[in-house]
Structure 1
Amino acid sequence: MSERVVPPVARRRRRPTRQGVVLSEELIVATALRLIEEHGAQALSVRRLGRALGADPSSLYRYFRHTDDLMLALADELIGRTLRSWRPTGDWLTDLRELGLTMHACALAHPRAAVLGSFRVTGRAHEIQTVETILGVLRGAGFPDREAVRIYHAFVDQALAFGALDSASVALPRAAREAEETVWRATYARLPAATHPHIAATARHLVADMTGSGYPAALDLLLEAAAARLAGIRARRDGAGRPAAD
């Protein structure tokens, strides 16, 4: 798509496409997600999308100004799917852990799109809602504002980074993934203690752990550190008899 602006009042198609469907932002985004998972980033072309939708490619400009506009909408849709799958409990540690795992699972469900969108800031409704929600969980737990933002930043970037890393692995051809998993058993597990004592001593754990994602362990470490910081903040508050400074 090239840069092209269509007035908002003209952005709704009322007639069905050749396939008998009425275009909408939601339909275009869902179709784009499907095409990306099937064909990769090159699927984000107005020609291919138009063909898949049975619509004149130019009609897509009623909804998205250019390809990057659509990419931001795709990234925001993945965030929205995470929110719709998450059920808060009221316990901040449980809620952040479940939200992180849900973000990661959503990325793995759409690995190619997750890799493309993990580093984008959309400024759209679902992202804004997520920022508000996570900050609300942290402030509600008792973190001062500055600390809440720091933990929010680390939490989100960790989830996005692992989502992109693991999604890139999932998107590899099966033969390549299996070959990489074999390396841990065929190479690392056979290194002699005489030359590689630490690898040899931990080989069985490496084989068991390194073929899966490191995200759950990393998430637990982050949340444990956050809980320790909160305990320290509460102790200082109790000791001083007043709220800790933000």
Structure 2
Amino acid sequence: MSDRVVPAADRRRRRPTKQGVVLSEELIVETALRLIEEHGSDALSVRRLGRALGADPSSLYRYFRHTDDLMLAIADELIGRTVRAWRPSGDWVADLRDIGLRMHAGALAHPRAAMLSAHRVTGRTHEIQAVENILGVLRRAGFPAAEAVRIYHAFVDQALAFGALDSAGTALPRAAREAETEVWRTTYGRLPADTHPHIAATARHLAATMRGSSYPAALDLLLDATRTRLGHIRAGTGR
């Protein structure tokens, strides 16, 4: 896509496509998400999208200026799927944990799209709402503004990083994933105690634990540290 764009007032397509559907931003984003999971970043071309939608590729410029504009819309939609499902409980630790786990699960549901979008800042509706929600949880818990932003940054980057990392693993062929998992048992599990005493002592736990994501454990460690930090702030000993 180039920077050609149609004014917002003229964007709605009034006639159905060849497949009998009316184009919309939502339909294009949903189709692009599906194609990314099937074909990776190569899916983001007007020709491929037009073919999948049964529409003239040039009609996509009525909705998105270029492929990066579409990529930001995809990233914002992934965020939106977390925002729309989340409801605060009033327990700030539980609420942050819920948001984090939802973000991580959302990435794993669309691993290729997550890898492409985790580092982007959209400035769009769903991202803005997510920022507002998380900062609201932190400020209502009692964190001063600067501290709330500091924790927000660490919290979101952790969730996005693990989402991208685990999505990359999910995107591997099944045989490759199983072979890498087996390394913990067949390679690390057989290292002798006289040369690798710490690995040998923990080999059973490594084989069991390294099969899955460490995000839930990392999230709990971050939340534990955040809870401790709030205690210092309330006691007047925070720096």
**TM bucket by the smaller chain?**
over 0.9
TM-score by length of 1: 0.95
Distance 1:72 1:52 in 2: 20
Q: Determine if the alignment matches structure 1 residue 137 to structure 2 residue 98.
A: no
Q: Give ranges in structure 2 of 5+ residues lacking alignment.
A: none
Amino acid at match of 1:143: F
Bigger mean CA offset, 84-93 vs 135-144: 84-93
Match of 2:96 in 1: 96
Distance 2:143 2:156 in 1: 16
Match of 2:154 in 1: 154
Determine helix, strand or coil for the equivalent of 1:6.
coil
Match of 1:172 in 2: 172
Distance 2:162 2:222 in 1: 13
Distance 2:72 2:165 in 1: 20
Query: Where do residues 30-179 of structure 1 align in structure 2 (5 Å cutoff)?
Result: 30-179=30-179
Contact 2:32–2:49 (Cα < 8 Å) also in 1: yes
Distance 1:182 1:37 in 2: 26
Residue 88 of structure 1: how far off its partner (Å): 1.7
Amino acid at match of 1:235: A
Residue 178 of structure 1: how far off its partner (Å): 0.7
Distance 1:53 1:5 in 2: 19
Amino acid at match of 2:108: L
Query: Where do residues 191-202 of structure 1 align in structure 2 (5 Å cutoff)?
Result: 191-202=191-202
**Alignment RMSD:** 1.1
Distance 1:5 1:50 in 2: 16
Find runs of 4+ consecutive structure 1 residues off by over 2 angstroms: none
Deviations 1:167-189 (A, max 9, x none): 00000011111110010011001
Distance 1:116 1:215 in 2: 19
Amino acid at match of 2:226: A
- Give the share of equivalent positions with the same residue, in percent: 79
